[in-house]
């Protein structure tokens, strides 16, 4: 089925590379690969495979080592606040626990987020991802919050 318009999808994978194939099937030849965190435009899906927007190939939506997610972008960046019992909450290079930790946020931190993907918030400047909820803390979107000065 084709999407109404091409959509950006992001790969979250524990593998070094996720195959882009010539047809929707594991026996089809591998044309190229996508790395963890890659964002590609898809125009549709067929039998568990995503179709690249330019029609150049297909990639498996889900496998044991990773999945593609369609990030939902907020209409405008939103301020989110961290409430955590931990000293630090990780900001990672991609939406997955295997992704490298770039920096951390402390309890009470307020950051601008531009969207979410598979249970991860996307920092407004695109610099990283943080898990929306974990056993030790969560990010909240306060409905009334003063704009940053």
pLDDT single digits (tens) 106-147: 999 999 998 888 788 999 998 999 988 877 778 877 543 444
Phi and psi at 132, nearest 5°, equal: -60, -45
Q: HSE of 39 in the Cβ direction (CA atoms, 13 Å)?
A: 12
Confidence of residue 148 (pLDDT cuts 50, 70, 90): very low
Confidence of residue 57 (pLDDT cuts 50, 70, 90): very high
Higher pLDDT pick, 12 / 29: 29
Are the C-beta atoms of residues 114 and 120 closer than 8 Å to each other?
Answer: no
What confidence tens digit (pLDDT) does each residue in 30-50 have? 999 998 888 888 888 888 899
Mean pLDDT for 84-96 is 88
What local confidence, expressed as pLDDT, does residue 98 receive? 86
Tokens of 31: 């044309």
* Alpha-carbon separation of residue 104 from 63, 117, 132, 148 (angstroms): 29, 19, 14, 20
The structure's pTM equals 0.56
Mean pLDDT for 4-26 is 85
Percent over 90 (pLDDT), the chain: 30
What local confidence, expressed as pLDDT, does residue 147 receive? 44
What local confidence, expressed as pLDDT, does residue 138 receive? 83
Q: How many C-beta atoms lie closer than 10 Å to residue 130's C-beta?
A: 24
What local confidence, expressed as pLDDT, does residue 142 receive? 56
């Amino acid at each position: 089925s084709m999407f109404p318009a091409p959509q950006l999808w992001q790969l979250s994978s524990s593998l070094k590379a996720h195959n882009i194939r010539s047809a929707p099937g594991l026996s089809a030849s591998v044309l190229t690969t996508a790395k963890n965190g890659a964002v590609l435009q898809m125009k549709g899906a067929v039998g568990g495979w995503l179709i690249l927007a330019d029609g150049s190939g297909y990639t498996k939506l889900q496998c044991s080592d990773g999945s593609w997610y369609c990030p939902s972008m907020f209409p405008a960046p939103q301020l989110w606040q961290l409430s955590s019992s931990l000293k630090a909450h990780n900001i990672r290079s991609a939406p997955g626990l295997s992704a490298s930790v770039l920096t951390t946020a402390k309890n009470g931190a307020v950051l601008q987020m531009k969207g979410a993907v598979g249970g991860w918030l996307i920092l407004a400047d695109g610099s990283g991802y943080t898990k929306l909820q974990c056993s030790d803390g969560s990010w909240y979107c306060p409905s009334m919050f003063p704009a940053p000065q």
